[in-house]
Amino acid sequence: MTTAEFDPAQVAEVIGKADIVTPMTIRAAVRVGLFDALADTAGSAGTADTAGTAGTLDLDRLTTAVGGHRRAVRVAADHLVHEGLLAGGEEGYSLTALGSLLTRDRSSLGLRDLLDVDTVVGRNEIALVDFDHTLRTGRPASEARSGATLWQELDDADADADVSSFDWEDPGFAAELILDSPVFATASSVLDLGGNTGSLALALLRRWPHLHASVLDFPVFTDRARARAAEAGLAERLTATPGSFFDPLPTGHDVTLLSAILADWDDDDAVAILRRAAEASDRVVVAEVHLTARGRLASETSVAVRLEASMTRPDRTSADVEALLVRAGLAVETAVTDTPDRSLFVARPLGGAA
């Protein structure tokens, strides 16, 4: 078969779909601060109306601003012009409306975290280069190289990493199910397993003024949770405990909470975590997030691939979670299973694992 027998348009279409050049150029530009350098120029030279679009930097100034290699910066910037993220050329590059979505001051959009491979979200995204690992094993692509979870990897790689992008004011995913749960009205303390930087624990402390909380997670997160509690004036009521939920847990809490934990683990690991939780207190609250492949920014199939590449068990239903609780020797007392994004189980250890 010769190339003449192929439809060049189809070949170009396949190459376009598989092209990694533009995604990687955008990520590299975010990472070296190229969009920010242009935004800073716009901010200092432009008016309020034009800030973010009017500033220009010629190639020499842009190269200096990003601390880059002149030729490589030109090649990348010219491609970003071709793709509509920048305008101009060597004599003066500037941000377009699209490029300005990637600047520091638009980070609340979440795009930067996704595209900056230094953030956890960005690392998770770039792990898709190892999606074949997921295809073979059903396990997260991020584990392909190190064998560790993304969270563990973050902790191992850089104990003083900036994890402040997890400092959510609003814990999200129908978290009010947890915050309003009557179980906390009578509990005096809660142990939040995998409590990350303390977003949920701090929200619980604000919601229930009598409550004390402990956050257990990797040190990179518990350090941050401790600092946040101090900033919020809640240091007296929040303890941050570095550790693993596969090891024996601190005792003396009325409730052990697992929020958005189990989807990262297969059934055996999930049951092991739940058994630890059952040893630690008289009540176990499991508030699992159920992500579905819907979304406005990408096709359902694309979202489904991303979930599959990110978690070990993205597909558990509330009935599946309940089955794990039973396997771990927990008796369900109350269950909320009619909220799309989250289920909530309050369970009591039976006093002997099944």
List contacts with ligand SAM (CB under 6 A).
149, 151, 171, 194-196, 200, 216-218, 221, 244-246, 259-261
Q: State the minimum distance, in angstroms, from the CB of residue 199 to ligand SAM.
A: 6
Judged by CB, which is closer to ligand SAM: 63, or 241? 241
Closer residue to ligand SAM in complex, CB, 93/218: 218
Q: Calculate Rg over the CA atoms of the chain.
A: 24
What is the DSSP track for 163-194? -GGG--SS--SSTHHHHT-THHHH-SEEEEET
Judged by CB, which is closer to ligand SAM: 36, or 153? 153
Nearer to ligand SAM, 87 or 285 (CB): 285
Residue nearest to ligand SAM (CB): 194
How many other C-beta atoms can be found within 10 angstroms of the C-beta atom of residue 82?
Answer: 11
Q: Which is nearer to ligand SAM, 143 or 217 (CB)?
A: 217
**Sign (positive or negative) of CA dihedral 37, 41, 44, 48:** negative
Shortest Cβ 224–ligand SAM spacing (Å): 10
Q: Which is nearer to ligand SAM, 35 or 221 (CB)?
A: 221
We find the least distance from the C-beta atom of residue 192 to ligand SAM, in angstroms, to be: 7
| Strands (E) located in the chain | 56-57, 86-89, 92-95, 189-193, 212-217, 238-242, 255-259, 283-289, 330-336, 342-349
- Rounded Cα distance between 80 and 87, Å, is 8
Please, which residue, 217 or 308, has the CB nearer to ligand SAM? 217
Work out the burial of residue 161: count CB atoms within 10 Å of its CB; fewer than 13 is exposed, 13-18 middle, 19 or more buried: middle
Q: Which is nearer to ligand SAM, 77 or 213 (CB)?
A: 213
Closest distance to ligand SAM from the beta carbon of 180 (Å): 15
Q: How far is the CB of 312 from ligand SAM (least distance, A)?
A: 11
Shortest CB 345 distance to ligand SAM, Å? 15
From the CB of 163, what's the least distance to ligand SAM, in Å?
Answer: 9
Residue 191 and residue 238: Cα distance in Å, rounded?
A: 10
For residues 292 and 311, what is the distance between their CA atoms, to the nearest angstrom? 13
For 142, phi and psi rounded to 5 degrees? Answer: -65, -20
Helix (H, G, I), strand (E, B) or coil at 316: coil
Shortest separation between residue 212's beta carbon and ligand SAM, angstroms: 18
Token digits of residue 238: 């929040």
Smallest CA-to-CA distance from 269 within 349, 198, 193 is with 193
Rounded-to-integer distance, Cα 325 and Cα 335, Å:
12
HSE-CB for 211 with a 13 A CA cutoff = 27
